[in-house]
Structure 1
Amino acid sequence: MTKRTSAKYKIDRRMGENIWGRAKSPVNRREYGPGQHGQRRKGKLSDFGIQLRAKQKLKGYYGDLTEKQFRRIYAEAERVKGDTGENLVGLLERRLDALVYRAKFVPTVFAARQFVNHGHVLVNGKKVNIPSYRLKEGDVVEVREKSKQMALVLEAVQSAERDVPDYLEVDHNKLTAKFVRTPALSDVPYAVVMEPNLVVEFYAKN
């Protein structure tokens, strides 16, 4: 599990953007970076800095994956036919924790990872507790019967803060979600602009 669960707002501050679009993000109040020198860190970024920031933003969005995890997913995206940046986003969205978050079963991607870890989720009727589990098109994910009345779930389902994307078919009454298709970058409802092409450039040079 990520060590950044308690520090999700620090990721927003570090990026200088409200990357999940949350109403309570500190970036809504102050756009400068964290720390006593945060207001003086607005210098122009180099090409390397811009590419690194794009990588950190995408990696942070999915629960601040470790560099090893993210690099492995990138390597797989590179091996598949097609645009590497698009492939990378598609693979990230096929993670089980990403679907649980997208389906609005939980309020944050960090909560999604913990929710899956604690065994609250079934995939095609079988319990899966691995957040990085790779979904296939047509897979059905559901919240276990015992977990459907959890306050966390009820609050997330009723939240109007974000919408469910159209590459999922979600029934909030039954708390089920079908992974219909692997999305393209333009399909994914990021709250800020993500630039996987810059991530590709970063790994190509480093």
Structure 2
Amino acid sequence: MTKRSNAKYKLDRRMGENIWGRPKSPVNKREYGPGQHGQRRKGKVSDYGVQLRAKQKLRGYYANISEKQFRRTYDEAIRMKGDSGANMIGLLERRLDAVVYRAKFVPTVWAARQFVNHGHVKVNGRRVNIASYQVKVGDVVEVKEASKQLAIVIEATQLAERDVPDYIEVDHSKMTAKYARIPQLNEVPYAVMMEPHLVVEYYSR
């Protein structure tokens, strides 16, 4: 198992939640945190602690993107009109690796980042290998012809544990996905409750 996979499962246990809703999550069997102190009784969490936890959970969900990238997303969200928390979710859902994951081209968001980085994805006919690339409304994301028969792709399209959300129009016969619109928070199919308003409070302290 890779270091990144280990970190993924540790995040699930640290949060005490099955963040991606996957049947393999260790939280299904062990609801306490990782490490030798994982079973200690937890005291009352401060407001700061609640905000930090919300930030770690949301950042971790998107394949544990770097703090620098996540902060940049927040900075862009607060410059936009409207609710900053909702703007943040919209920006995160426009990441190319997130779109590839939502379209069920790969089984996990971690695999989506690697899939994009290795050049298996095109946007509007052009190869893009930057996972943080911001997809625009109307853009068409597709799996490269030579990559359509990869085992990981075939496995992902048959997964029954999650559905493609309404804001992405997918044709699995052609392995294409059109980004139809930017979603509202309640439309994003998170397996657990995300609290972007707490993330905004964390950064605006």
TM over 0.5: yes
Shift of 1:34: 0.4
2:99 aligned residue:
99
Structure 1 stretches of 4+ with a deviation exceeding 2 A read 3-7
* Distance in 1 of aligned mates of 2:50 and 2:29: 24
RMSD between aligned residues: 0.9
Query: Which letter does structure 2 place at the counterpart of 1:118?
Result: H
1:1-32 Cα offsets, whole Å, 9 max, x none, are xx634421111011111100000100011111
Instruction: Identify unmatched segments of 5+ residues in structure 2.
Output: none
Q: Is the 8 A contact 1:121 1:141 kept in 2?
A: yes
* Distance in 2 of aligned mates of 1:35 and 1:41: 14
1:170 matched to 2:170: yes
SS at 2:204 equivalent? helix
Counterparts of residues 106-125 of structure 1 (less than 5 Å): 106-125=106-125
Instruction: Identify unmatched segments of 5+ residues in structure 1.
Output: none
1:149 aligned residue:
149
Shift of 1:37: 1.2
TM-score (norm 1): 0.97
1:184 matched to 2:177: no
* Distance in 1 of aligned mates of 2:81 and 2:152: 39
1:57-83 Cα offsets, whole Å, 9 max, x none, are 000000101111100000000000000
TM-score (norm 2): 0.97
Query: Which letter does structure 1 place at the counterpart of 2:98?
Result: A
1:199 matched to 2:199: yes
Q: Is the 8 A contact 1:33 1:41 kept in 2?
A: no
Query: Which letter does structure 2 place at the counterpart of 1:162?
Result: R
Query: Which letter does structure 2 place at the counterpart of 1:96?
Result: L
> Greater CA deviation, 39-48 or 183-192?
39-48
2:27 aligned residue:
27
Fraction of identical pairs, as percent: 75
Query: Which letter does structure 2 place at the counterpart of 1:68?
Result: K
Query: Which letter does structure 1 place at the counterpart of 2:13?
Result: R
SS at 1:4 equivalent? helix
